Amino acid sequence: MLIGARALPGHAAAFSAFNPATGAALEPQFGSAIISDVDLACELADQAFDAYRETTLEQRAAFLEQIAQNIMDLGPALVERAMLESGLPQGRIEGERGRTVNQLRLFAKVVRDGRWQGATLDSALPERVPPRPDLRLRKIAVGPVVVFGASNFPLAFSVGGGDTASALAAGCPVIVKAHGAHPGTSELVGKAIQAAVASCGLPEGVFSMLHGDGRTIGTALVNHPAVKAVGFTGSRQGGTALMRTAAQRPEPIPVYAEMSSINPVFLLPCALENRAGALGTSFIDSLTLGAGQFCTNPGLVIALDGPALESFCASAAAALEEKGAATMLTSGIHSAFTEGVARLAGAQGVTLVGRGKAGDGPCAGRAALFITDAANFVGNPALEDEIFGASSLVVRCSDLEQMHQVAAHLDGQLTATIILDQDDRDAALALLPLLERKAGRILVNGYPTGVEVSHAMVHGGPFPATSDSRSTSVGAGAIDRFLRPVSYQDLPAYLLPAALQENNPQQLWRVRDGELVKA
């Protein structure tokens, strides 16, 4: 464990990581935290908060860049350990490492820019009736944040991932509850962050990392009074459990949980008629990418019934037959996937379209595609359950009106995709308002499994995709989750924070008396 500046062995139950490709336990063993470790990490974070949140923009940006550099300096050791603990190939891990450091660098740019502070100045109007006082507003960090590492991204959504980067950018100390599937990877990245805290001269409580069971250590972290927000990526069951815990505190706090999504793909009639075969192949390529272990995996296809859809399914089935079984991240994820596919195969009104090749590894996931009709889908809520892995369901619709009924029926989603040709214009215009109500990101003629880290990205959506549809966990907007506004009335100049001082020392774009100015 890493608690402030210290590296400490866990004193609770020891555990090992496992190589999902072989089932073999990996050395060394790791010890779990006890409640006193939680208290120490949270107390250090609370002590660090006021000093850290008032670091200069340059200090905080340089700190994020130093973390990124320290992660890169880990070199092959990080890649090799992550491959062993996840079963993911070298190219995927190296790409994920690049994404991790890029989002840290993106948030360094966001911090330097300073717009996240929302600096706003309303001048005093003493002659007005009634008079208006001098009012100034900025956003400040909410306080220490607990981040839960994700199973499917050992780097980009874990110890040094997007939740940690955005919380640190906002000025919040972070306590990470590392995921039990990749403790060695977590320790390497955690030490890189710990070293950056020390070399940048920051209070030690800016970062800590604990191992332990989610039901005990995770719950204790969320319940600690010093903690003011939570970032989580994982299952709907886990996310809603944290939401209940946070809501029942004496001081309820927000939980930003990214949870369940089946990411519907709508094949509009002209596109399907013109490109059925090619679409079947490209869809399977997206479905099976990374063994389907993405929160944006396309788990649902909606299309009009007819010969074109039959061609799509035939092409998809042929493509599936060529896809080998892929190693899944953990035995638990593999078991849940296998059970979910079996339930779907046995559901009333559901027919198998095709399967991928079987595998012989302990966590080999065999891709699957099924089909049903719209009435059966709408009438059976279980068909909308997420199956985390390379499994998808095709829904046949009799006409565009029924396609709209299916869209309106869906729960909240991270993404919704429209596959269209030029002659589908009217159908797309009619469908779009429905999808805007359902999803955080809408794509055209692409697949949702790539999530760009950028200023315009939204990785969120209505429940159960996330716990708060107003937020994103990827992209520059992720910083907003960990900020709150404070208004300052008639403060003397010596008390004003830099963002609101009259001479604008940070050279920010600010809203002054309703006008956006750099003054």
CA 474 to chain centre: 6
Rg from Cα positions in the chain = 25
Catalytic residue among 65, 85, 204, 258: 258
DSSP H stretches of helix in 325-475: 331-346, 374-379, 400-409, 425-438
Q: Is residue 43 annotated as a catalytic residue, yes or no? A: no
User: What is the per-residue DSSP string for 417-436?
Assistant: EEE--GGGHHHHHHHHHHHH
Catalytic residue among 172, 295, 313, 397: 295
What is the token pair recorded at 192?
């890189």
Name the H helices within 410-487: 425-438
E strand or H helix at 415, and its extent?
Answer: strand 413-419
The residue whose two tokens read 């809603």 is 240
Q: Which amino acid is at 8?
A: L
**Annotation says 363 is catalytic:** no
Half-sphere exposure of 326 (CA within 13 A, CB side): 25
Token look-up 């060695």 returns 184
Helix axes 90-113, 57-73, angle to 10 degrees: 170
| Helices 90-113, 76-86: inter-axial angle, 10-degree rounding | 120
**Backbone phi, then psi, for 156, in 5-degree steps?**
-75, -20
Contact between 208 and 132 (Cβ < 8 Å): no
- Of 294, 245, 233, 260, the C-alpha closest to 463 is 260
Sign of the Cα torsion 57, 252, 258, 16 reads positive
Q: Among 150, 414, 435, which Cα is nearest to 260's?
A: 414
Q: Which residues are catalytic?
A: 258, 295
